[in-house]
Amino acid sequence: MEEFSYQDGELCCEDLPMSRIAKEVGTPFYCYSAAHIIKRFRAYDQAFGDRKHLICFAVKANSNLVILNLLGKLGAGADIVSGGELFRALRAGIPANRIVFSGVGKTTEEIQAALDAGILMFNIESMQEFHAIAKTCRETGKKARISFRVNPDVDPKTHPYISTGLKKNKFGMPVHDALEAYREAKRNPHVEITGIDCHIGSQLTQIQPFLDALDRVAAVVQTLNDEGIQLSYLDTGGGLGIRYHDETPPDPGKLIRELIKRMDANGLQQTVIVEPGRSICGNAGALVTKVLYTKENSGKTFVIVDAAMNDLPRPSLYQAYHDIWHLNQTSNRKPCLVDIVGPICETGDFLAKEREMPLPAQGELLSVMSAGAYGFSMSSNYNSRPRIPEVLVNGSEFRVIRKRESYEDLVRIEEIS
Ligand code: LLP
């Protein structure tokens, strides 16, 4: 998180003290560094060298229009998993021919919308989904570009909730079924076989599972090639992890160079698609929150802040660790053990548990780090809490890229009679 650092004792995002943003927009809020997003995108982009590629940002990680627009201008496409994400990607100016549609449960309406837009390809996850897409094409006279998502049965060694490439997971198709699917698709005039796809999980900190998955996919590509089925795109999914605590994931450049080496070794010539989310924007963001109260219950210290599990569900949902920094440096305070909790009426509402840190004082501002991916995008209105604003920092300037919701926003689409 090099874009977040202390300057004269004050935590800054790029060159801007974050307390200044707090003064203008109030707390809590999400704060993103544009420089970090650009740097991480370029790390992917440049590692490809002259190899044909497309970086489809996983919209689910951070779906703010300004962020998508920024990435789109850098050349990114989008990996979408819903009609809503399609709408956002298009609204943000990402061209349809740079959009891939993943996910196990695409509805007829979503399929129709993606066909109308003319997306690059559907990453298909089951035979029933294939038939649904082919049927929509037949009825509307459109042709879908398709790939099948292979489940390579590789252990990504990550949290079980975000593992997707094991045979016990709901994602993709076993190799044998995928081969059959391609054979059937070849006989269907309403679809155009375009690529092959695979995504094994998220927050991966090692390269080996990516390479193991690629080998399995390469074997499928080889078999198809022998049968005269050629593919233009090879989509290796997303999943590269970031440092939250003490993880040491490879940087994007290293992953891409290793993947390309392995593709070359397997004789794979396709245009490469990757679908990174977290590794582009995770460490670009922080959640700034204010200490409302501190209290001690039977020897345990609680710090109650104004952000909660509805704003950042990752700690409650996955027991995820996020660093918590003071906005004002605290060199002369000694650390103690605290739980940082929100105002929501659930014991599961915490941002950090048994964390050793200098005791924050009432009214003090804290920054929950590494919150740029799956932070705001997973937030909700639980406890009727308006969703919080997002700001984007560029050098010493910032801009509100999503306003704080109002109480009126909470009830806007509800009616009493
Ligand atoms: N492509 C597909 C098909 C995916 O399912 C995902 C993430 C990605 C790409 C992007 O993965 P990334 O590069 O961000 O790891 N909410 C969880 C993460 C869920 C990831 C779901 N799929 C979390 O907060 O850790």
What does the alpha-carbon distance between residue 89 and residue 99 come to, in Å, rounded to a whole number? Answer: 8
Q: Report which secondary-structure segment, H or E, holds 123.
A: strand 121-124
Is the shortest distance between the CB of 238 and ligand 1 below 6 Å? Answer: yes
Q: How many residues does the chain have?
A: 417
| Across 219-241, average pLDDT | 97
Task: Name the residue with higher pLDDT: 162 or 135.
Answer: 135
Give the number of the atom of ligand 1 that is nearest the alpha carbon of residue 103. Answer: 3
Q: Report which secondary-structure segment, H or E, holds 220.
A: helix 208-226
Q: Looking at ligand 1, which residue's alpha carbon is closest to its atom 19? A: 162
Query: What is the per-residue pLDDT for 168?
Result: 77
Q: Are 23 and 243 in contact (CB under 8 A)?
A: no
Give the number of the atom of ligand 1 that is nearest the alpha carbon of residue 203. Answer: 15
Is residue 157 pLDDT above 80, yes or no? no
User: What burial class does residue 44 get, using C-beta atoms within 10 Å of its C-beta: 0-12 exposed, 13-18 middle, 19+ buried?
Assistant: buried
**Domain assignment of residue 46, yes or no:** no
> Whole-number mean pLDDT of the chain?
96
Is residue 123 pLDDT above 90, yes or no? yes
**Domain assignment of residue 307, yes or no:** yes
Q: Report which secondary-structure segment, H or E, holds 218.
A: helix 208-226
List b or e across 210-240, with b for residues whose CB sees 16 or more CB atoms inside 10 angstroms. bbbbbebbbebbeebeeeebebbbbbbbbbb
Q: Where is the domain boundary, 233, 255, 274? A: 274
Backbone angles phi, psi at 382, to 5 degrees: -50, 140
Query: What is the per-residue pLDDT for 62?
Result: 99
**Domain assignment of residue 219, yes or no:** yes
What does the alpha-carbon distance between residue 201 and residue 204 come to, in Å, rounded to a whole number? Answer: 7
Same domain, 226 and 324: no
Neighbours of 388 (CB within 10 A): 26
Same domain, 382 and 337: yes
Same domain, 157 and 222: yes
**Domain assignment of residue 216, yes or no:** yes
| Across 225-240, average pLDDT | 97
How far is the centre of ligand 1, averaged over its atoms, from the C-alpha of 54 (Å)? 17
How far is the centre of ligand 1, averaged over its atoms, from the C-alpha of 57 (Å)? 10
Provide the pLDDT confidence category of residue 417 given band limits of 50, 70 and 90. confident
- What is the tally of structural domains in the chain? 2
Q: Looking at ligand 1, which residue's alpha carbon is closest to its atom 8? A: 238
Task: Give one DSSP letter per residue of 13-80, joined into a string.
Answer: ETTEEHHHHHHHH-SSEEEEEHHHHHHHHHHHHHHTTTS-EEEEEEGGG---HHHHHHHHHHT-EEEE
Query: What is the per-residue pLDDT for 331?
Result: 76
Same domain, 235 and 138: yes
For the chain, percent of residues with pLDDT exceeding 70: 99
Same domain, 291 and 245: no
Is residue 164 pLDDT above 90, yes or no? no
Q: Which of 171, 173, 275 best tests ligand 1's pocket when mutated (most atoms within 8 Å of CB)? A: 275
| Across 92-114, average pLDDT | 98
**Domain assignment of residue 108, yes or no:** yes
Q: Are 17 and 11 in contact (CB under 8 A)?
A: yes
Q: Are 366 and 327 in contact (CB under 8 A)?
A: yes
Same domain, 246 and 329: no
Same domain, 260 and 343: no
Is the shortest distance between the CB of 17 and ligand 1 below 6 Å? Answer: no
Same domain, 109 and 16: no
CATH number, position 203 = 3.20.20.10
Is the shortest distance between the CB of 289 and ligand 1 below 6 Å? Answer: no
How far is the centre of ligand 1, averaged over its atoms, from the C-alpha of 199 (Å)? 9
Q: What are the helix (H) ranges across 92-207?
A: 108-117, 127-140, 175-186
Angstrom CA distances, 114 to 102, 107, 133, 192, stand at 11, 11, 10, 15
Query: What is the per-residue pLDDT for 362?
Result: 97
Provide the pLDDT confidence category of residue 130 given band limits of 50, 70 and 90. very high
Is the shortest distance between the CB of 40 and ligand 1 below 6 Å? Answer: no
Is the shortest distance between the CB of 277 and ligand 1 below 6 Å? Answer: yes
CATH number, position 386 = 2.40.37.10
| Across 284-306, average pLDDT | 97
How far is the centre of ligand 1, averaged over its atoms, from the C-alpha of 201 (Å)? 7
Q: What is the pLDDT of residues 167-226, one digit of tens each?
A: 777 888 999 999 999 999 999 999 999 999 999 999 999 999 999 999 999 999 999 999
| Across 67-86, average pLDDT | 98
Which sequence positions are flagged as catalytic? 345
What does the alpha-carbon distance between residue 61 and residue 276 come to, in Å, rounded to a whole number? Answer: 9
Order of strands, edge to edge, in the sheet holding 16-17? 4-7, 10-13, 16-17
Is the shortest distance between the CB of 163 and ligand 1 below 6 Å? Answer: no
**Domain assignment of residue 194, yes or no:** yes
Q: Which two tokens mark 42?
A: 């370029």
Same domain, 154 and 262: yes
Angle between helices 34-47 and 252-265 (to 10 degrees): 20
Query: Phi-psi bin for 185: left (phi > 0), alpha (psi -120 to 50), beta?
Result: alpha
Task: Give the distance from CA 23 to its chain's centroid.
Answer: 29
Same domain, 328 and 241: no
Is residue 35 pLDDT above 80, yes or no? yes
Is the shortest distance between the CB of 317 and ligand 1 below 6 Å? Answer: no
Q: Are 267 and 304 in contact (CB under 8 A)?
A: no
Strands (E), 342-414: 350-358, 365-368, 390-394, 397-402
Q: What are the helix (H) ranges across 149-207?
A: 175-186
Give the number of the atom of ligand 1 that is nearest the alpha carbon of residue 276. Answer: 13
Same domain, 159 and 219: yes
DSSP conformational letter for 392: E
Closest CA to 42 of 305, 280, 316: 280
Query: Phi-psi bin for 285: left (phi > 0), alpha (psi -120 to 50), beta?
Result: beta
Residue-range definition of the domain harbouring residue 288: 4-32+282-411
Is residue 328 pLDDT above 80, yes or no? yes
**Domain assignment of residue 82, yes or no:** no
Q: Where is the domain boundary, 274, 304, 339? A: 274
| Across 352-370, average pLDDT | 97
- 140 CB contacts (<8 Å, ≥6 apart)? 112, 115
**Domain assignment of residue 210, yes or no:** yes
Query: What is the per-residue pLDDT for 155?
Result: 82
The residue type of 248 is: T
Same domain, 225 and 293: no
| Across 330-348, average pLDDT | 92
Query: What is the per-residue pLDDT for 124?
Result: 97
How far is the centre of ligand 1, averaged over its atoms, from the C-alpha of 225 (Å)? 30
Q: Where is the domain boundary, 274, 304, 331? A: 274
Provide the pLDDT confidence category of residue 4 given band limits of 50, 70 and 90. very high
